[in-house]
Amino acid sequence: MNKHEIICTTDDDFAEVAAGILFEAFSKANNPLVSFPTGTTPQDTYKALVQKYEDCRDVWDNLRYLCLDDYAGLPETDERLFKNWLGRELLDPLGIKNRITFNSAATETQAEAQHIQSYLDQHGPVDIMILGLGSNGHLAFNEPGSDFDSATRLVDLTQSTIESNARYWGDDIRRVPRTGYTLGLGDIMKARKVFLLITGAGKADILDKTLNGEITKDIPASILQNHPNLTIIADKSALMKKEDPRYG
Ligand code: PGA
């Protein structure tokens, strides 16, 4: 197992600390290709990035945003699309114009996935990959059972992900699409730098399994144990098992 860095914040200053660390990484990189996650975890971090650093034009003009995952089969203007969610929360306020995204409305889904994979093959790897951790151990839409060398593809979402994502839409499960595009675990593992963001006691168990358990396809995030350049940024609640000596 590679040694990873764990940054433990208080439950209150997670967003502030995470924003500072990410901004420093963006500032030091040259025209970085960056993937951002959606979800509850990074929301306040994105607010902090906007509040504290929106004037840093040179950093934002220098950054290329690459979609991490997104729903398939929706009209391009649909508010549920992750690229539109990220647009509202982060990319528009920061004026990030360089965006490489899935075309959700594409009818040739395999060709659409290949289009993003080709971009990665030519212009990758991802320089700075920021990830959230699913309660079921997924990374992006790489659900349990995903191959560790998987590429960009269309996937069926698991019932647990569909149920979990309904909370963004008034708990209306009918509003959650059943398929999505995702970068594969193979390309996540090729990223030059990975930041994994985790908050809350509800994630303590899956974080512990991810970092200290068996590397298994049942918990896709467990493959990150083999990543050579991983930083975990987590609040105290998510790290409540940290006293365990296996955290090192
Ligand atoms: P969450 O989602 O931040 O809303 O918990 C994380 C994920 O499913 O990747």
- Per-residue pLDDT tens digits for 101-159: 999 999 999 999 999 999 999 999 999 999 999 999 999 999 999 999 999 999 999 99
Q: At 88, which amino acid appears?
A: R
Amino acid 3: pLDDT: 78
Specify the ligand 1 atom closest to the Cα of 133: 9
Residue identifier of the C-alpha nearest atom 7 of ligand 1 = 134
CA 40 – CA 149 distance, rounded (Å): 27
HSE at residue 152, side-chain half, CA atoms within 13 A, is 27
Backbone angles phi, psi at 205, to 5 degrees: -70, -45
What separation in Å is there between the alpha carbon of 141 and the centre of ligand 1?
A: 10
Is 137 near ligand 1, meaning CB less than 6 Å away? Answer: no
Contact criterion met (CB below 8 Å) for 94 and 54:
yes
- Decide which of 167 and 24 is more confident: 24
Q: Is 136 a catalytic residue?
A: yes
* Phi-psi map region of 170: left, alpha, beta (phi>0 left; psi -120 to 50 alpha): left
Q: Which of 98, 136, 147, 205 is catalytic?
A: 136
What separation in Å is there between the alpha carbon of 133 and the centre of ligand 1?
A: 6
- Decide which of 168 and 83 is more confident: 83
Amino acid 248: pLDDT: 47
What H or E segment, with its residue span, contains residue 186? helix 185-190
Please give the model's pTM, rounded to 2 decimal places: 0.95
Amino acid 247: pLDDT: 57
Place of tokens 């930083």: 231
Instruction: Locate the DSSP E strands across the chain.
Output: 5-9, 33-35, 64-66, 69-71, 99-100, 128-132, 153-156, 179-182, 193-198, 230-235
Mean pLDDT of the chain: 95
Q: Assess whether pLDDT exceeds 70 at residue 37.
A: yes
HSE at residue 169, side-chain half, CA atoms within 13 A, is 17
Nearest to 201 by CA among 113, 150, 132, 135: 135
CB atoms near residue 173 (< 10 Å)? 12
Q: Assess whether pLDDT exceeds 80 at residue 244.
A: no
Mean pLDDT on 218-222:
98
pLDDT in tens, 77-107: 999 999 999 999 999 999 999 999 999 999 9
In three-state secondary structure terms, 63 is coil
Nearest to 230 by CA among 38, 7, 80: 7
